[in-house]
Amino acid sequence: MLAVITGASRGIGESYARQLAARGCTLHLTARDAGRLARLAGELRTQHGIAVEEIVLDLAQPDGAERLYAEVRRRRTAPVDLLVNNAGFGLYGEFADQPMPKIQDMLVLHLLTFTKLVRLFLPEMRERRSGAIINVSSVAGLMALPYLSLYAATKAFMVSLGEGVALEAGKYGVVVQTCCPGRTATDFHETAGVKEYRTPGGEQTADEVVAESLAALDRGRSLVITGRRNRLLVRLQQIVPRRMVLWAAERVLRPSREEVRLGAPGAGG
Ligand SMILES: NC(=O)c1ccc[n+]([C@@H]2O[C@H](COP(=O)([O-])OP(=O)(O)OC[C@H]3O[C@@H](n4cnc5c(N)ncnc54)[C@H](OP(=O)(O)O)[C@@H]3O)[C@@H](O)[C@H]2O)c1
């Protein structure tokens, strides 16, 4: 079985790589950090005796998806059975303060590259009537989030596209899973520019998120919200009036006075 994983150099993507390697999958791993990819690939080859390809690419470039697809086709020795569309980052702070180049990167990575990868890898799976795509969205894609507004909006796009395509692809025996983790202990928060959360705790580990996602994939599930606390939160926000959910989210996510004094938090993302 051949799996292609984007954002495999750390965090949730690295966990997908480790858990799929333990299942004996051949891996094509991609991210920008060549050193981290090489270390992980070397470790997985030695530990599991599997073939691992490293593909160093910036997927926030408009042609990133096409370049990844071409590279996978050039190197692969079998059809792709699983695409894990995981690469992503957060941008915290008031939208009006966020740097335009970061906005552009997020739109390209979360919308354009994400969409093109599904479009590029799906037809062959449909033809073969087997295969799967895991799209890593977020619980942020199921609700608007002040101070993470653009991030949440792009994740909502992923949920919508993923759930729609899942129904189309299911007719051909192809599973398209939208995975929605909540807060997970990775470098994501530092990259996003979050100093600390007002509601600490309740984090899952990347390994827990991925174990739930892969177990759900084994059962053919197209939407998985990982973690009991996150499932509860999503249920709650479906029954509580929308304006109350937004009010609570604004209170929880509002930058502290200290963060405002230090400058626009989004600049750290
Ligand atoms: N952590 C959370 O709380 C959380 C919650 C819900 C959803 N998620 C989602 O989970 C996914 C993985 O995030 P994470 O928590 O694992 O964060 P992370 O530890 O920061 O990892 C992000 C991964 O994405 C890659 N990436 C970022 N920008 C890229 C680019 N321009 N081109 C290619 N690769 C790029 C990074 O690799 P390089 O830096 O080497 O390029 C890294 O491997 C994201 O889509 C995120 O939105 C995270």
What's the CA-to-centroid distance between 10 and ligand 1, angstroms?
Answer: 7
pLDDT tens across 128-164, in order? Answer: 999 999 999 999 999 999 999 999 999 999 999 999 9
Tokens coding 55: 């593909």
pLDDT tens across 201-234, in order? Answer: 789 999 999 999 999 999 999 999 999 999 999 9
Sorting pLDDT into bands at 50, 70 and 90, what band is 267? Answer: very low
User: Whole-angstrom Cα distance, residue 193 to residue 198?
Assistant: 14
Judge if pTM exceeds 0.85.
Answer: yes
Q: What percent of the chain has pLDDT over 90?
A: 90
Sorting pLDDT into bands at 50, 70 and 90, what band is 80? Answer: very high
Q: Identify the pLDDT of residue 268.
A: 32
What average pLDDT score do residues 54-83 get? 97
Q: Identify the pLDDT of residue 197.
A: 77
What's the CA-to-centroid distance between 51 and ligand 1, angstroms?
Answer: 23
How many domains are there within the chain?
1
Query: Is the CB–ligand 1 distance for residue 190 below 6 Å?
Result: no
Statement: residue 102 has pLDDT above 80: yes
Sorting pLDDT into bands at 50, 70 and 90, what band is 258? Answer: low
User: Whole-angstrom Cα distance, residue 6 to residue 158?
Assistant: 15
User: Whole-angstrom Cα distance, residue 17 to residue 52?
Assistant: 10
151 flagged as catalytic: yes
Atom of ligand 1 nearest to the CA of 6: 34
Atom of ligand 1 nearest to the CA of 10: 43
Residue range(s) defining the domain that contains residue 147: 2-268
Q: Any idea what the CATH number is for the domain that residue 45 is in?
A: 3.40.50.720
The neighbouring-strand residues paired with 5 are: 29, 84
Query: Is the CB–ligand 1 distance for residue 10 below 6 Å?
Result: yes
Q: Identify the pLDDT of residue 262.
A: 53
Query: Is the CB–ligand 1 distance for residue 61 below 6 Å?
Result: no
Give the closest residue (by CA) to ligand 1 atom 36.
7
Query: Is the CB–ligand 1 distance for residue 9 below 6 Å?
Result: yes
